[in-house]
């Protein structure tokens, strides 16, 4: 995130993260649930929004609302400028080379579908192989299965070990002349594993194979530099990085995007239309058919401003502290088993009990004000790998506190009391 | 807190811990699988129906305490009952779980199953409780597709 050292309002003089101060920026964090203070540990599903993001949406509809890239009138010019400025902020956020590599989409899912349907249908054929890992979210599995059905390609899966880490030797074995695409997650949503993506990219590029990274769970925790990663595509959602729902980004290397056909046809993605032939617009507009989600795109830019105003060394130390504290505290509960024990993890703690189903855990925690996700986390193959039907998942953000983890531990005590 | 106590009553916890009729009926002449795509709960209901009467009923699968207890209580309630009574009970239980007006507490129309009435205060858990019932209904009707709560 290339921290911009402004005055770092979220950092104490000691260099420690000032979590109490930062929590004030998020109005929902002072809410009560069932009469108890909300403990929001479902950040992996969606993060909360700071006041500045909420204000940006409000301001847009009050003062700027207009369609972009077409009007000559004042409001349209203003809206266009604000939307394109947001694109520039997102370029800076992931350190892409150019704004034309930043394609606004609805979210990570749409970004991956775009690549599968545009790049995949144009360049993959029968017998080719696509490699994903065993810990992908369904949205990094199903689009490739659909492509496989369409072109006759095959999906190959890199296994994971018992800690929830990619088995690199198996990946090397799967990489063959048939491999034409690799698509892996950067951070696992169900396990929290940080995947050694640079190593994966280097190996794939060694064979000339492009790599897409699903960054949905990575962007709220890690500083992303797509040039340093050397990935070909990077997909992420605004709502998991403290921005609004309904907007996300596909980063693509310009030379690949140039040769890819459009994903959808319509307005904005054309330069000239006749009934004989249509000429497509330049990047990034070639991939942005129809009126986009203007308000939320602008507000996502504001979320980026907010994040870049934080001291990321302090944020990272705070988040590492949360995960370490929670892992130790939950690790002391005899009946509880943590699923996902990779050496490198970010933000996620999945757990199960031998005798209590995750749903029952979720309901009882909720009564204590603690919001966790209970279920398969849209990663059913991960559940199958670990032989569990579902897990309870606490997923953290920088605005969470050690005290909130203590509340979680006490609430788990209540679960064990109910279920004896 | 009382809502939570209502949900996890002793009887429910007991059925979860020691589910009744939790077995396979080898030669079952009706059987269906049920699946809750939201949470991954799975249940298979087996029925032996003779002359319109449920001679035997059992279930297998994995799920939360609510889904397991509901399935377990369903089997004890339906064994020996005519098919028509099963359909009727399905309707009444469904109304109770979804909090249909006039179904408060279940009353005589659902018998012992009234103990599940606390579920309607937890909308996210209604499907857990109704999964086995949908599956039983689909088994009796001989529907080829797995039952879903959606």
Distance from CA of B84 to the nearest CA of A (A): 33
Mutation target to probe the A interface, by most A beta carbons within 10 A, among B1, B3, B4 is: B4
Minimum Cα–Cα distance from B8: chain A residue:
A418
The band of A1, judged by pLDDT with boundaries at 50, 70 and 90, is: very low
Beta bridge partners of A214: A185, A235
Q: 3-state class of B102 per DSSP?
A: coil
Active site residue A378: yes
Distance from CA of A377 to the nearest CA of B (A): 9
So what's the pLDDT on residue A7?
A: 55
Give every strand in the sheet of A373-375, ordered side by side. Answer: A336-339, A348-353, A391-395, A373-375
Going from the C-alpha of A196 to that of each of A181, A211, A257, A288, A355, the distances in angstroms are: 17, 13, 25, 31, 34
CATH of domain B2-146: 3.90.1010.10
Q: Domain A19-30+311-418: which CATH class?
A: alpha beta
Mutation target to probe the B interface, by most B beta carbons within 10 A, among A36, A355, A361, A363 is: A363
Three-class HEC string of chain A? CCCCCCCCCCECCCCCECHHHHHCCCHHHHCEECCEECEECECCCCCCCCHHHHHHHHHHHHHHCCCCCCCCCHHHHHHHHHHHHHHHHHHHHHCCCCHHHEEEECCHHHHHHHHHHHHHHHHCCCCCEEEEECCCCHHHCHHHHHHHHHHCCEEEEECECCCCCECHHHHHHHCCCCEEEEEEECECCCCCEECCHHHHHHHHHCCCCCEEEECCCCCCCCCCCHHHHCCCEEEEECHHHCCCCCCEEEEECHHHHHHCCCCCCCCCCEEEECCCCEEECCCCHHHCCCCCCHHHHHHHHHHHHHHHCCCHHHHHHHHHHHHHHHHHHHHCCCCEEEECCCCCECCEEEEEECCCCHHHHHHHHHHCCEECEEECCCCHHHHHHHCCCCEEEEECCCCCCHHHHHHHHHHHHHHHHHCC
| Domain extents in chain B | 2-146
Q: Which helix (H) or strand (E) holds B54?
A: strand B53-62
So what's the pLDDT on residue B39?
A: 75
- The ipTM estimated for the assembled molecules is 0.89
CB-based contact, B128 to chain A, within 8 Å: yes
pLDDT in tens, B66-113: 999 999 999 999 999 999 999 999 999 999 998 876 655 555 588 889
Minimum Cα–Cα distance from B35: chain A residue:
A389
Q: 3-state class of B14 per DSSP?
A: helix
Minimum Cα–Cα distance from A373: chain B residue:
B39
- Pick the closest to residue B75 from B101, B45, B105, B102 (CA basis): B45
Please list every residue in chain B whose beta carbon sits closer than 8 Å to the beta carbon of residue A420.
Answer: 13
| Domain extents in chain A | 19-30+311-418, 55-308
CA distance A101 to A82: 18
CB-based contact A1:A224 (threshold 8 Å): yes
Minimum Cα–Cα distance from A381: chain B residue:
B40
pLDDT in tens, A180-193: 999 999 999 999 99
Beta bridge partners of B77: none
Q: Is residue B149's pLDDT more than 80?
A: no
Please list every residue in chain B whose beta carbon sits closer than 8 Å to the beta carbon of residue A356.
Answer: 65
pLDDT in tens, A244-292: 999 999 999 999 999 999 999 998 898 999 999 999 999 999 999 999 9
Q: Output the average pLDDT for chain A.
A: 95
CA distance B127 to A109: 27
CB-based contact B80:B54 (threshold 8 Å): yes
Q: Please tell me which of the candidates A355, A360, A389 has its beta carbon nearest to residue B62.
A: A389
Total Cβ atoms within 10 A of residue A362 = 24
Torsion of CA A353, A357, A360, A362, to 10 degrees: 70
CATH of domain A55-308: 3.40.640.10
So what's the pLDDT on residue A2?
A: 46
Write out the two tokens for A197. Answer: 């993506």
Contact call for A363 and B42, based on CB within 8 A:
no
Q: Which helix (H) or strand (E) holds B131?
A: helix B126-141
Residues in chain A whose beta carbon is closer than 8 A to a beta carbon of chain B? 355-360, 363-364, 367, 374-376, 380, 383, 389-390, 418-420
CB-based contact, B65 to chain A, within 8 Å: yes
Q: For chain B, positions 14-53, list CB contacts with chain A under 8 A.
A: 17, 38-42
CA distance B41 to B128: 8
CB-based contact B6:B115 (threshold 8 Å): no
Q: Average pLDDT for residues A398-411, to the nearest whole number?
A: 98
pLDDT in tens, A199-244: 999 999 999 999 999 999 999 999 999 999 999 999 999 999 999 9
Distance from CA of A32 to the nearest CA of B (A): 15
> First-to-last CA distance in chain A?
46
Number of residues assigned to chain A: 420
Contact call for B42 and A356, based on CB within 8 A:
no
CA distance B82 to B55: 9
pLDDT in tens, B47-62: 999 999 999 999 999 9
């Amino acid at each position: 995130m290339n921290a911009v050292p402004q005055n770092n309002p979220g950092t104490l003089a000691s260099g420690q993260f000032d979590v109490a101060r930062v929590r004030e920026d998020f109005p929902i964090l002072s809410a009560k649930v069932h009469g108890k203070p909300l403990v929001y540990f479902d950040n992996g599903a969606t993060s909360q929004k700071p006041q500045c993001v909420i204000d940006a949406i409000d301001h847009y509809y009050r003062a700027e609302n207009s369609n972009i890239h077409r009007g000559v009138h004042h409001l349209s010019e203003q809206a266009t400028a604000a939307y394109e400025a947001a694109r520039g902020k997102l370029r800076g956020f992931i350190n892409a080379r150019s704004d034309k590599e930043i394609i606004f989409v609805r979210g990570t899912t749409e970004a991956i579908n775009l690549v599968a349907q545009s790049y995949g249908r144009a360049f993959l054929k029968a017998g080719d192989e696509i490699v994903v890992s065993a810990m992908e979210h369904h949205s990094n599995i199903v689009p490739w299965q659909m492509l496989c059905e369409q072109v006759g390609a095959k999906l190959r899966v890199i296994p994971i070990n018992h800690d929830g880490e990619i088995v690199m030797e198996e990946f090397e074995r799967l990489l063959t002349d048939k491999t034409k695409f690799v698509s892996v997650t950067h951070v696992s949503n169900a396990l929290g594993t940080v995947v050694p993506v640079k190593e994966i990219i280097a190996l794939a590029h060694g064979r000339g194979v492009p790599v897409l990274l699903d960054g949905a769970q990575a962007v709220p925790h890690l500083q992303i530099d797509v040039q340093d990663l050397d990935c070909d595509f990077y997909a992420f959602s605004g709502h998991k990085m403290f921005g609004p729902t309904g907007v996300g980004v596909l980063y693509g290397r310009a030379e690949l995007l140039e040769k890819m056909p459009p994903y959808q046809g319509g307005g904005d993605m054309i330069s000239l239309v006749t009934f004989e032939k249509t000429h497509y617009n330049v990047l990034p507009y070639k991939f942005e058919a129809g009126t986009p989600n203007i308000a939320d795109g602008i507000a996502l830019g504001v979320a980026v401003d907010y994040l870049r105003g934080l001291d990321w060394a302090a944020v990272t130390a705070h988040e590492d502290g949360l995960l370490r504290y929670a892992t130790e505290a939950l690790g002391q509960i005899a009946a509880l088993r943590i699923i996902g024990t990779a050496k490198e993890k970010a933000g996620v703690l999945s757990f199960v009990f031998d005798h209590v189903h995750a749903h029952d855990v979720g309901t009882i925690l909720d009564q204590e004000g603690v919001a966790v996700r209970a279920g398969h986390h849209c990663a059913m193959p991960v559940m199958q790998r670990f032989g569990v039907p579902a897990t309870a998942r606490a997923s953290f953000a920088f605005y969470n506190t050690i005290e909130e983890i203590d509340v979680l531990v006490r609430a788990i005590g209540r679960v064990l009391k109910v279920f004896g | 807190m009382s809502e939570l106590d209502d949900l996890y009553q002793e009887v429910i916890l007991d059925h979860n811990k020691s589910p009744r009729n939790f077995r396979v009926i080898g030669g079952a002449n009706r059987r269906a699988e049920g699946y809750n795509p939201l949470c991954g709960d799975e249940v298979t209901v087996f029925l032996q129906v003779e002359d319109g009467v449920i001679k035997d009923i059992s279930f297998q699968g994995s799920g939360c305490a609510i889904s397991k207890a509901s399935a377990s209580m369903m089997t004890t309630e339906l064994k020996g009952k005519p098919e028509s009574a099963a359909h009727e009970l399905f309707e009444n239980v469904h109304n109770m779980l979804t909090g249909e007006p006039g179904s408060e507490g279940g009353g005589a129309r659902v018998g012992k199953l009234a103990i599940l009435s606390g579920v309607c205060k937890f909308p996210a858990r209604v499907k857990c409780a109704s999964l086995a019932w949908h599956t039983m209904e689909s088994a009796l009707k001989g529907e080829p597709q797995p039952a879903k709560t959606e």
